[in-house]
Amino acid sequence: MELRNLILERWLEVVLESYHKEIKTFCIKERDSFLNPVGSTYRESMGIVLDALFGIFSHERVSFALENMVKIGCLNGYSFDEKKGYIPFLSILIEEIAGYDFEKKVRQKLEKLLRYEEEIYVKTREKLENLRKKPSLVPYERLKING
């Protein structure tokens, strides 16, 4: 459990690195989740992913958690690639903290997670573009057709 928490804190720090320093501390420390949805969402989701990694792996829960993280990332200039992404960061951290042997043990799961992340990333980007195009003035369009 301690290992999980250690990794979680480090992971959180690394991911929030892209935020302004002043804000990073806020996101990590502010415990009121409604005042700090970014930090809380990351914390919660990372917890789910790590639990899956160390325990029972549920596709549904893990995808949900990754999706929540990717959604925040996509609005903040994150783009997925094999080296830069939530799961790649995690892999490096695990190897660093728990050692190479441990990483080997969970590598299969990590690879699965990596594929999920990629999938979710593509899906989220698409969604974002669709939302941008989505006209909110539906009946007006209809009227235009009628003349």
Partner 1 sequence: MVERLAYAFLFTIFLILVPLIGVGILNLQKVFSIFVPYLAFLIFLFGLVYRVLSWATSPQPFKIPLVAGQQRSLKWIKSSYIESPYTKTGVFLRMLLEIIFFRSLLREEKVETHPKKWLLFTSKKALWLGSIIFHYSLLVIALRHLKLFFEPVPSFVSLLHRADSLFEIFLPTVYITDILALLALLFLFFRRILVRQVMYVSYATDYFALLLIISVILSGALVRYFFRVDLFDVKRFTLGLVSFRPYVPEVVGSAFYVHLFLVSFLFAYFPFSKLIHAGGIFLSPTRNLENTSREKRYINPWNYPVKVRSYEEWEDEFREMMREAGIPVEKEEKES
Partner 2 sequence: MKEEKSVPSDLSPKDENWMDKKVEFKKGTYCYGAPLKHQKYLDLPHPREWQPHNEDWNLPENWKEIILEGMKSLLEKYRSFKLFMDICVRCGACADKCHFFIGTGDPKNMPVLRAELLRSVYRRYFTLSGKIFGRLSGARDLTYDVLKEWFYYFYQCTECRRCSLYCPYGIDTCEITMMGRELLNLLGLNIQWVVEPASNSFRTGNHLGVPPPAFKETMGFAVDEIEELTGIKIDVPINRKGAEILFVAPSADYFASPHWYTLLGYLMLFHEIGLDYTWSTFASEGGNFGLFHSYELMKRLNAKIYEEAKRLKVKWILGGECGHMWRVIHQYMDTMNGPADFLEEPISPITGTKFENAKSTKMVHIAEFTADLIYHNKLVLDKKRNDKWIVTFHDSCNTARSVGLFEEPRYILKNVCNYFYEMPENTIREKTFCCGSGAGLGADENLEARLKGGFPRAYAVRYVKEKFGVNMVACMCAIDKASLPILLDYWLGGVEVCGIHELVGNALVMKGEKERTKNLRGEPLQREENEKGL
3-state secondary structure 15-83: HHHHCCHHHHHHHHHCCCCCCCHHHHHHHHHHHHHHHHHHCCCCHHHHHHHHHHHHHHHHHCCCCCCCC
Piece of the chain touching partner 1 by CB under 8 A; list 4-12, 19-27, 100-108, 112-120 = 19-27
- Which partner from the list partner 2, partner 1, none does 25 bind, CB cut-off 5 to 8 Å by kind? partner 1
Q: Is 75 in the site for partner 2 (CB under 8 A)?
A: yes
- Which partner from the list partner 2, partner 1, none does 31 bind, CB cut-off 5 to 8 Å by kind? partner 1
Cα separation, 147 vs 141, in Å, equals: 10
Among 77, 87, 113, 121, binds partner 2 (CB under 8 A): 77
Q: Please provide the distance, in angstroms rounded to a whole number, between the alpha carbons at the two ends of the chain.
A: 66
Residue numbers at the binding site for partner 2 (CB under 8 A) = 10, 14, 17-23, 26-27, 30, 32-38, 40-41, 71-72, 75-77, 83-84, 88-89, 92-93, 95-96, 127-128, 131-134, 136-140, 142-143, 146
